[in-house]
Amino acid sequence: MITIRLADAALAGDLAIPEGATGMVLFAHGSGSSRHSPRNRAVAGGLNAAGIGTLLMDLLTEREEELDSVTAGLRFDIELLAMRLIGTIDRLAEGLEAAPLTAGLPLGLFGASTGAAAALAAAAARPAQVAAVVSRGGRPDLAGPSLPRVKAPVLLIVGGRDPEVLALNDQAARSLDQAETHVVSGATHLFEEPGALEEVTTQAADWFNRRLGREGPRPSRRS
C-alpha cells in the first residue's frame, strides 16, 4: 500500500508496475466501493498481466467513507472525486516517491459507475496527460459539461442486460469526441455472469495497449 498525499487529503492506494510496463492505468471506483473492489482488482490483475501498471486508490478518506456510508452523498460528488483524480494524475506525472518511473509512463483512466464520470471530468481537465479512458458500467452522463472537452479516446463497456445504463452511455457517447461502446452480451450491471468480467478485462487491456504505447501521448508536468 502507498499513500497519495494531495492538498486536501491523504489517500490510500495499491500500486503495481510490471517489469517493462508500457503504461499506467489509474482506477476510479464506483458508488460505495473502494480500492478493494473485487471486480476492479480482477481487471487490474489482467492489465498487469498485459504489461500495464495499475494504481487502485480510495477517492475518499476513512472519515469521508464513514460519512458516505450513512448519507451516500459523497459518492455522487463528481467534482470532489474528479479533483482527487486530477491531484493524483499530477502526482503520477511528477513520479511518486514509491515509484518515480510513473513519470515516464503514458496514463489511462479506468472508471466504474460514478467513478467513470469522475474519470471523464479528470480527463477533460488534463488532456495532455490522459491518453485513454475506459468506463465499466459507468455513469458518464454525470460528467455533464465535461464530456465535450474530453480529447482522449473513450471505451464505454456496458452490460447487455443493463438497459438504463446502456441508454445513458449511448447518449453520453454522442457528446464525446472519440468514443466506442462495447456491449457485453447477457451481462448485468455488476458483470457477475460467467465470462463477463473476463470480457471486460480483455477489452480494456486491448484498448489501453493500443493507446498507451511508448509512441503515444505521455504525461507532462504542469507548472
Domains of the chain: 2-211 (3.40.50.1820)
Strand blocks (E) in 99-195? 107-112, 130-136, 154-159, 179-184
Listed range (52-61, 94-103, 172-181) with the worst mean pLDDT: 94-103
For residue 201, how far is the Cα from the chain centroid? Answer: 13
Place of cell 487490474: 44
Gyration radius from the chain CA atoms: 16
**Sheet with strand 2-5: strands edge to edge:** 2-5, 10-16, 53-57, 24-28, 107-112, 130-136, 154-159, 179-184
**pLDDT of residue 45 exceeding 90:** yes
User: Residue 11 and residue 14: Cα distance in Å, rounded?
Assistant: 10
Contacts of 187 (CB under 8 A, 6+ apart): 159, 160, 161, 162, 193, 196, 199
Who has greater pLDDT, 222 or 30?
A: 30
Q: Which three cell numbers stand for residue 186?
A: 447477457
pLDDT greater than 50 at residue 216: no
The mean-pLDDT minimum among 51-65, 66-80, 90-104, 160-174 falls in 90-104
CA pair distance 162, 193, nearest whole angstrom: 12
pLDDT at 217: 37
Residue-wise pLDDT for 129-140, tens only, equals: 999 999 999 999
Whole-angstrom distance, CA of residue 213 vs CA of residue 23 = 7
- What is the pLDDT averaged over residues 112-131? 95
